[in-house]
A and B are shown apart, each in its own frame.
Chain A
């Protein structure tokens, strides 16, 4: 019977223990619960904050990208605008600088003479323009002389002031406006033959250049007709005596006037239809011999100097026709050291035909040049064939039949080859 009493006591002890310990256990769970609730609340708050931040970040991030994109676009736009401005600014400048000109190389085979590569010319032309009001243009002539030296000359250098639509004022050294060949045809890429007509080169019958003032321009009237004009005043030519007679009339254009006599002249041309031009030239004044046998001559009396010329140009389809007459006349003066004057005159007719749909062109020219010096006078036939490489370049072959003073260079026939380029 002791055993049941012992078991009953154990049970009673356990029950007492449970009863005693139950409030302690209940208190611990409550704390934990409270702690958990607090933690949960904190976590919920943190989550809310994170969500808010996430939402804010989601809202902010696209805006910043857009802003960055906008900034990039703005930079790119500015860059493009600067590039466009740079690309187009040359079109909108007030001032323009430009170089053009022409060059030629040639070979001459002369009967009773030598065969030689005798021509290397380089003629750059510089244009300096301001708006539509002013342009200064200059042409240099650079050439290799037969002694190997390089010769440089100033063909012209003048300012052109466009006073209105019909008048340009020119001051400086300019190509003589007398006649047509010197001012319009002589550049190698324009001249259809390798040589100039006799008397139309330097110091022949046609004046080359002048230093002074000039007014020139043109106007239209009717449907197709036009009129051009040029009027100038300049220092005029220099006369030189050699061996007691006039050697020639130097008309290269001089920035000085030893005889203090000016020349007044000009040219008018009329074009009843666009392809036909008729020109008339004249210049008048006094000139004096300023050099004799290489020595300066002072106070030699002046004598009358006259230039007269007429020219014709006509084009019809592939056919082109040129004709010109010009003369320079120096009057006699009995009180001069060289009393005898003289007349230098020349004329030529030229026709050219470009064979249709080809680059070949045939040219025929007749020239008759008369000088006071018999060894300079010459009658000349020139037949040429050109191959037009481009609109501004040509290969030219020509044969001159020359009739001059027997034994003189002007009596020798010549083959001429030339390559000319206008740039």
Chain B
């Protein structure tokens, strides 16, 4: 057992602090979502199609937008956002494309 605050404890604190710091700033995902609700972005579908074509077959074969419902794509895209390192904006764009194409 150790009595000193080890570097790993400091690293855990650093990760937590960065995380908490990031959550205190504006949450662009929600901000963009609310603005989209009031003012649809006509180019989002186009951006989503491009991001879908560029990212989704990096690791696996392209999935047909018709495979899943709108709500299912929401969960899948959140999973792929973390796994594929997508930005929030790319995730929303691809989601708009998939939901508009199924």
Contact = CB atoms under 8 A, between A and B. Distances in A.
Interface of A: 90-91, 93, 96-98, 100, 125, 127, 129, 131-133, 135, 137, 160-170, 183-185, 189-190, 212-220, 224, 226, 228-233, 260-264, 269, 274-275, 277, 285, 313, 315, 388, 391-392, 422
A129 B1 CA distance: 39
B85 A133 contact: no
B38 interface: no
Given A133-B30, A162-B29, A277 B11 contact: no
A184 B58 CA distance: 10
B15 to A, nearest CB: 5
Contacts, number: 153
18 contacts: A160-B78, A184-B84, A190-B59, A213-B12, A215-B15, A215-B18, A216-B82, A218-B84, A218-B86, A228-B84, A232-B15, A233-B12, A233-B15, A260-B1, A260-B2, A315-B58, A392-B61, A392-B67
Contact of B87 (A127, A160, A219, A285): A219
Contacts of A213: 12, 15-16, 19
B78 A127 contact: yes
B62 A167 contact: no
Interface of B: 1-2, 6-9, 11-12, 15-16, 18-19, 22-23, 25-30, 33, 54-55, 57-64, 67, 69-72, 74-76, 78-79, 81-90, 92
Given A215-B18, A285-B8, A165 B78 contact: no
B12 A262 contact: yes
A165 B28 contact: yes
B55 A274 contact: yes
Q: Is the interface of A mostly helix, strand, loop or mixed?
A: strand
Nearest to B78: A135
A217 B7 CA distance: 24
A165 B89 contact: yes
A50 B9 CA distance: 99
Contacts of B90: 220
Contacts of B64: 391
